[in-house]
Amino acid sequence: MARTPDSFDRLAALDKSVHEPARLAILTALSACHSAQFRFLQSLTGLTQGNLSIHLTKLAEKGFIEIDKRFDGRYPATTVRLTAAGRKAISEHWRQLDALRAAAETIANEQKGE
């Protein structure tokens, strides 16, 4: 199968810390709102508490999210929001995926014409 000269470079350029499925789901969800509660993200992603916590920590270490941990009475209330860097990262990621899709369509159309 033919490929554009830079198709591998485009794939390699994807930020793996964003592209990982659970993190992509988290960042996409957060990009649609101002902030989200931990329990909402857990319900949305289907991750366990521990697994979600690990992914959130990785995203926070990259500077993509901010985590606010408080107590509502005796109960923990964790809120997560995207940072400006996180908004930029998720927007760029979707832009790159769109470019990959467009390149694949171009190759497919060229092969049909052969």
Instruction: Tell me the fold of 14-106.
Output: Arc Repressor Mutant, subunit A (1.10.10)
pLDDT of 70 reads 95
pLDDT at 114: 60
This prediction has a pTM of 0.83
Please report the pLDDT score of residue 67 as a whole number.
98
Instruction: For the chain, list residues with pLDDT below 50.
Output: 1
Q: How confident is the model at residue 6, as a pLDDT?
A: 63
For tokens 């369509």, the residue is: 105
Work out whether strand 36-37 and strand 65-72 pair parallel, antiparallel, or are unpaired. unpaired
Q: What is the pLDDT of residue 8?
A: 58
Q: Are 98 and 83 in contact (CB under 8 A)?
A: no
At 41 the pLDDT is 97
pLDDT for 106: 85
**For residues 14 and 99, is the Cβ–Cβ distance under 8 A?**
no
